[in-house]
Amino acid sequence: MALWGGRFKEQPSELFKSFNDSLPVDYRLATQDIEGSISWSRALLQVGVLSAKEQQDLEKALNELLQTVQENPACVLEVPEGEMSAEDIHSWVEGKLIAKCGDLGKKLHTGRSRNDQVATDLKLWCKARGGELLQALVNLQQAMLDLANRERATVLPGYTHLQRAQPVTFGHWCLAYVEMFDRDISRMQDALYRADTSPLGSGALAGTAYPIDRHALAQDLGFRRPTLNSLDAVSDRDHVIEFISTASISMMHLSRFAEDLIFYNTGEAGFIELSDLVTSGSSLMPQKKNPDALELIRGKAGRVCGSLSGMLMTMKALPLAYNKDMQEDKEGLFDALDTWEACLQMAVLVTEGLKVNSAATLSAAQQGYANATELADYLVNKDIPFREAHHIVGEVVLAAIAEGKALEDFTLAELQTFSDKITQDVYQHLTIESCLDKRQVVGGTSREQVEKALQSIKKSSDDLVASHVTGSPAVEQINLALGQVQQRLNAQKAAVMSVRRAKMTDVEAIEHIVNYWSEKGETLPRTRYSIVHDIQNFVVAELDGKVIGCACLYIYQTGLAEVRSVGVLKEAQGHGQGKAMVQYLLEQARHIELQRVIVLTRAPKFFEKLGFAHTPMDSLPEKVIKDCDICPKKNACDEVSMDYLVKTTNTQFAEQEQIEVQVKS
């Protein structure tokens, strides 16, 4: 049924109808159109257009229609045999209402235009969709934070101009994208705030002739206030442009994320391996494993940005007020936001399955003279002006390239031919650790700053959705859902990000924890002297600045170590600190190229979840068995022996590591 026609003598052509009808696109607004119609019926009741009985009958029929649509959204596109399809979602809803209520259904459109109706529907849809996208962004932030936690100590070469520049950590790289996604969240919040005004009651362009209380109407629909100018209200599509713009900027971030990982995944770099879940093979070359998910993210960024360009061009130079051009607003918007959400979800899947080859990243960071800046800074500290120091180091690098060796491989005598200011202490400044540790400024790549950055990324649910858009049930549900996501995020960060290397000032706390659990018969006793002696092998977990857990990676021989003295104070348990400390030690084992980590435990299920496997007790070295002499349960041992094969945790890199060993030898 057409909502117009009295002025026309002939029916529109089928070609025009097909060209003009928007139902195949705007059927997605069915829920919002029905909700807006329910609120409008209540407004008409208040001004006497509808009686209480009429309004109740209309609302009942609309709610029944709403339930039908929610159960089967595709029903909107179903056309009964012998009937014409509706022009748009508004005529479809009105037609169904008239079929249910007869002439009463025809009264609902009193004082309302499709112009303010579609503007209202679209804003309601944007508010609901915006909440879903906010949550998708938070989920991706969570995945990136998890990856940053896992790889916060992994050395990674940093690039400018795609040339190796200075070493950073993989965790620092992850946090760069966390910052980008945080800005995307902020942009979405701002767009939601500005979209939170109700056009309903603006009529076709001049406002409705009925004394509708637009403030009450806006509140009933969940908006913070009504729009203030009817001309602007029916012709405003800024919210559409802002949503697509936010999606475009975020897709640009996702495209950069994808490009980085595509490069890291190449055989030439070999820094990462992508999960089988997000890759495909070649129909011809059986050895191929293609990063299709990332390439599609990169490709779809252009599609979303194209939607933005299209919408800007559609709105350019349109006169006030409504024009049919604006019907083109929805197809690009729907596609852009759907594409954006799909890419956000795919990025989470990519991130969760990502495996980092720390041996390759460290090897790459050690090449390309990434420590040249450190040598220049060293000379500056010897009272040489930076420009002169820069020139000296350039000559050293030139010589290093000619001889095919690293800066740190020069002898002291060789370095002194370039400057007599260089002394034996230079070598401690040329290590990767020194390069990282010096970047202590806020936002720097030092491990300490990465830890601080991880700890500082704490937002309340109020930060996720601007406080001034609260008030509607829909937005309150968004706040609640995002608040739950944020609580989970904060809990996981609290569990993982407080683990650090032990210091001498931690000895007393470590001794207290070890003694507590050794008295319970759960761990072997350790003397204060042995703790002091092994302090460099301990890590501790902190909660609110207090040491509440400890663990030790005791190295026996080349390639072998034992996880021991794992303990968390009883009152602080339940935060995942034990798991975090063991993961920290396993990461350390990878960095120092251990081959096997063993553990004797009464909690095998805990270690199974961390990748340990059962191993016969007699497979352990004699040095481990000798420790049993000091165990109170020596003659009634109930411990399980387990081991973790460090090399096999990254089997995908075994071939590359073998090649690297051959090259080094």
The upper half-sphere exposure of residue 239, i.e. CA atoms within 13 Å in the direction of its Cβ, equals 28
Hey, which residues does 127 pair with through a beta bridge? none
Contacts (Cβ under 8 Å, ≥6 apart) of 195: 123, 126, 127, 130, 239, 242, 243
| Rounded Cα distance, 324 and 326, in Å | 5
CB neighbours (10 Å) of residue 555? 16
Cα–Cα distances in Å, from 269 out to 291, 318, 490, 560?
Answer: 14, 51, 34, 29
Rounded to whole angstroms, the Cα distance separating 425 from 195 reads 61
**Is the entire prediction scored with pTM above 0.75?**
no
The phi and psi torsions of 149 (rounded to 5 degrees) equal -60, -45
Residue 610 near residue 644 (C-beta atoms within 8 A): yes
Q: Are 346 and 293 in contact (CB under 8 A)?
A: yes
CA triple 313-316-317, angle to 5 deg: 145
State the CB neighbour count (10 A cutoff) for residue 272. 24
Q: What is the pLDDT of residue 484?
A: 46
Low-confidence residues in the chain, pLDDT < 50: 458-479, 481-482, 484-489, 491-497, 648-665
- Give the whole-angstrom CA distance, residue 497 versus residue 494: 6
**What Cα–Cα distance (Å) separates residue 586 from each residue in 356, 475, 599, 651, 653?**
14, 43, 12, 16, 17
Question: CA 79, CA 207: separation in Å to the nearest integer?
Answer: 34
The C-alpha atoms of residue 440 and residue 155 are separated, in whole angstroms, by: 16
How do residues 149-167 score in pLDDT, each as one tens digit? 889 888 899 999 998 888 8
Query: Quick one: pLDDT at residue 474?
Result: 40
The structure tokens listed for 311 are: 């919408």
Catalytic residues: 161, 282
pLDDT, tens only, 418-427: 988 888 888 7
Q: Which domains does the chain have, with CATH numbers?
A: 14-110 (1.10.275.10), 115-362+457-493 (1.20.200.10), 363-447 (1.10.40.30), 498-664 (3.40.630.30)
> What element of type H or E holds 469?
none
Q: Are 502 and 469 a contacting pair, CB within 8 Å?
A: no
Which residues are CB-contacts of 66 (< 8 A; sequence separation ≥ 6)?
31, 34, 35
Judged by DSSP in three states, 227 sits in: coil
| CB proximity list for 246: less than 8 A, separation 6 or greater | 184, 187, 188, 191
The whole-number pLDDT of residue 1 equals 52
Considering only CA atoms, which of 169, 160, 257, 162 is closest in space to residue 445? 169
Residue 634 confidence (pLDDT): 54
DSSP structure string for 471-506: TSHHHHHHHHHHHHHHHHHHHHHHHHTTEEE--GGG
Question: In this structure, are residues 169 and 450 in contact, taking their beta carbons and an 8 Å threshold?
Answer: yes
**Residue whose token pair is 């030092």:** 446
